[in-house]
Structure 1
Amino acid sequence: MENQRILNKSFLFIFISNFLIFIGFEMLLPILPAYMISLDASPIQIGLVTTLFTIGAVLIRPFVGYFLIDNKRKALAIGASALLMIITLVYPFLNIIWMLLLLRFFHGTAWGVSTTVNSTIAVDSIPKSRLGEGLGYFSISTTVGAIIAQSLGIFIYGFYSFDIVIWSSVILSLLAFIALLFVNSHAPIKKEKEPFRFFEMIFEKSVWFPALLTVITTLGFGAIITFLVVFGEQQNLDNVFLFFLVNATVSTLLRPYTGKWYDRKGPWSIIIVSAILGFLSLVVLSFATNDFHLIIAAILFGAGYGTVMPCLQTLAVQNVSEEKSGAANATFFSSFDVGVGVSAFIFGILAEWISLEMIFRIASFSFLVVAVLVYKDYLNKKNK
């Protein structure tokens, strides 16, 4: 660690790189369903766009987590960034559905490496006494980066073309690659580590509870990134990008306060309040018929989902030793991807039978489940 400040050189450059990577990658997410529809894909195939990506990310992360126990992080981060850029370049050359689905699998593996190692570098650069606040700031690069990406992707796709979206993503990935060159990263002290066991590494037992909460929370997020653009078309909402833009703004403005709230009062109260706001956001969204409804839903989602996720990541990292922070991050992001993938697959099937409004209402209950589980955990710890 360079010093006791959160905003040190390594933190700033890994933040910038991760921010650009998330924008470059996730600007494709709301566009791919619409692009797949243009290729006459079925709702189930649209769901597989996210599901196969998730499988690739989840399968690779145990190996990444194990590697990070006693190896330098920077080289792996640079390699993953370059691979993301190369894979993105291939999309315009594929117009056969099964080939696109296969590409999504490999894209998921590169994404799994990048997100895991970048977050581990960030953890290394944050003073442990300010981990909640530091990861709260760092999560702006993920949640806000992803949210800005949705608006940017929709805007470029609507006014230009899919190919322009791809080239925009490639340029952002290149800038992210350059930023990584300025990161200073150290390897943990060499220790004798246990032999690699895939199923143990895919799920770090010490973080099972935040991992479970992450899966449940991202069910709602998965419904939004999979179907919001299509929902907007059905409801004649011409400014769907407003949802992501307002969401990003609210999440960013609240982050300094929510991170300090976590460090001072613990995870329970902030997660419960945020989960309730997430529930309300999806309910409002399901009834949206104009821009005002979209903005209200976005404000609630930014305050809710945008706060819950960094809290859960901090909780996961705090449950393990420093050398296992890579494994904890791998489990956290795998849980995120599993939640999004399961959401896209299940709701993709349900979309054959029920309306998108009903899908958002069903997804909203995932936030209530999180609030109940966290409150129960609080009572259990209080009574010990």
Structure 2
Amino acid sequence: MSHVPPARLYSTPFLLLCISHALFAASFNIMIPELPSYLEGMGGGEHKGLIIALFTITAGLSRPFSGKLADTVGRMPVMYVGTFACVICGLLYPALHFVAGFLVLRFFHGFSTGFKPTGTSAYVADVVPPGRLGEAMGWLGICFSIGASASPPLGSWMVKYFGGNPDPMFYTSTVLAIASMAILMNLKETVHKKHIFRLELLKVTRDDVYDPLAIPAGIIMIFCYISYGVILTLVPDLSDEVGLTNRGTFFTIFTLSSISTRLFAGKISDRLGRVPVLKASAILIGISMLVFANTATPMMLYLASALFGLGIGIFSPAINAWTVDLGDPARKGRAIATMYIALEIAIGGGAFLGGWYFANDIHRMPAVFYFAAAMSFAGWIYLTVYGKRYAINSSNQQIPESTNQR
């Protein structure tokens, strides 16, 4: 059980965690724009859809374990495991320079996001005031976005600077992960009645896999985040098609746009409720997918990137806070793991289906974006039909009306 959160938001643990999260995001995102061409150079171009899909499969499979361990062993060990996975994988990419080895490594690299974000989100929920949870998730998302946006252009620049050699980029990924882990060492555990780790804790039951109360958040996550998997798989090729020399440019524009909305979107969700904010984000994400489908110039790609960033920036803090609102207060790790399982299903599904249908044929790309747009608009319909079942209580948390005060 975790302690009662303090009254102020900007505590030292929260600020340190934000910095660590930014470095963690930079660690595994630095290589994303270059991986499709890296795999194609090894003769595995037809497997581009697996770059993200394999990563998310492992992340999704590990969520029930990380959620249970975060609630029992503690938040800190879970964060250490996820960050250490980035350290090891960054060192192994240069050694496994063949298609099968690369794909196996992508599979194991997914443990990083299967553990670290689960522990981080649960830790944040422990150390911030409940009435400012949306704002806190907004700041956490901003820091993640800074790391995720600054590193891809750096990775692309490093590959070009070193004559097409990606090894320095991979080693930089490891250095960033080590820095993230070093900052974590300054944080104290927030789970006071924690268990000593034993193998029995790795046995998960149906009750450990997901929190039924958080299912609505998981559903809307799948509808809206399919687009993210599509983007991660197709935008590097789309960037080449429209003539961008640095494949990381999209990520910079997308993230700067996302940062511009995350904080105020989190505050608005604290005041007006999560569902109205999520509905607005679903519309923006859908519109951005339509623009991507019709992109033929760098300027159109910039516009689509900005719109997508606005949509995701509004969506992320609201969905994180909504998950905590809906879930069992005594098992925050399980509720957050439920949301992240849905996230991995969405990103992995979008990446796999997008890559499979695209099949390195640029003329097939628009149809994938239209599909992603349809999914986002379906998410808006879901929230419109079922969102009215949720009310806002005096603590600015949304709960099912049928359960009243849990």
State TM-score, norm by structure 1. 0.92
Are the equivalent residues in 1 in contact too, given 2:289–2:370 (CA < 8 A)? Answer: yes
Q: Say which SS state the counterpart of residue 92 (structure 1) adopts.
A: coil
Alpha-carbon separation, structure 2, partners of 1:242 and 1:55: 27
Deviates more, 1:76-85 or 1:17-26: 76-85
Are the equivalent residues in 2 in contact too, given 1:29–1:226 (CA < 8 A)? Answer: no
Partner residue in 2 for 1:23: 26
Deviates more, 1:248-257 or 1:5-14: 248-257
Q: 1:359 aligned to 2:368?
A: yes
Are the equivalent residues in 2 in contact too, given 1:21–1:172 (CA < 8 A)? Answer: yes
Are the equivalent residues in 2 in contact too, given 1:274–1:304 (CA < 8 A)? Answer: yes
Alignment equivalent of 1:5, drawn from 4, 8, 12 = 8
Greater than 6 Å deviation, 4+ residue runs: none
Partner residue in 2 for 1:107: 109
Are the equivalent residues in 1 in contact too, given 2:262–2:317 (CA < 8 A)? Answer: no
Are the equivalent residues in 1 in contact too, given 2:69–2:78 (CA < 8 A)? Answer: no
Q: Where do 1:242-321 residues align within 5 Å?
A: 242-321=249-328
Q: 1:189: Cα distance to partner?
A: 4.2
Partner residue in 2 for 1:368: 377
CA 147–213 in structure 1, closer or farther in 2 if over 3 Å, else same = farther
Percent of residue pairs identical = 25
Alignment equivalent of 2:184, drawn from 175, 180, 192 = 180
Are the equivalent residues in 2 in contact too, given 1:27–1:151 (CA < 8 A)? Answer: yes
Alignment equivalent of 1:218, drawn from 221, 225, 229 = 225
Q: Which runs of 5+ in 2 are unaligned?
A: 196-200, 392-400
Q: 1:239: Cα distance to partner?
A: 4.8
Q: 1:113: Cα distance to partner?
A: 1.4
Give per-residue Cα distances to partners, 1:180-204, cap 9 Å, x unaligned.
111122214469xx99544432222
Q: 1:145 aligned to 2:147?
A: yes
Give per-residue Cα distances to partners, 1:217-273, cap 9 Å, x unaligned.
111111111111111112323354332212222221222211111011001221111
Are the equivalent residues in 1 in contact too, given 2:149–2:256 (CA < 8 A)? Answer: no
Alpha-carbon separation, structure 2, partners of 1:188 and 1:119: 17
Partner residue in 1 for 2:214: 207
Deviates more, 1:229-238 or 1:373-382: 373-382
Alpha-carbon separation, structure 2, partners of 1:139 and 1:272: 19
When the two chains are superposed, the root-mean-square deviation of aligned CA atoms in Å is: 2.3
Alpha-carbon separation, structure 2, partners of 1:374 and 1:348: 28
User: 2:156 is matched by which residue type in structure 1?
Assistant: I
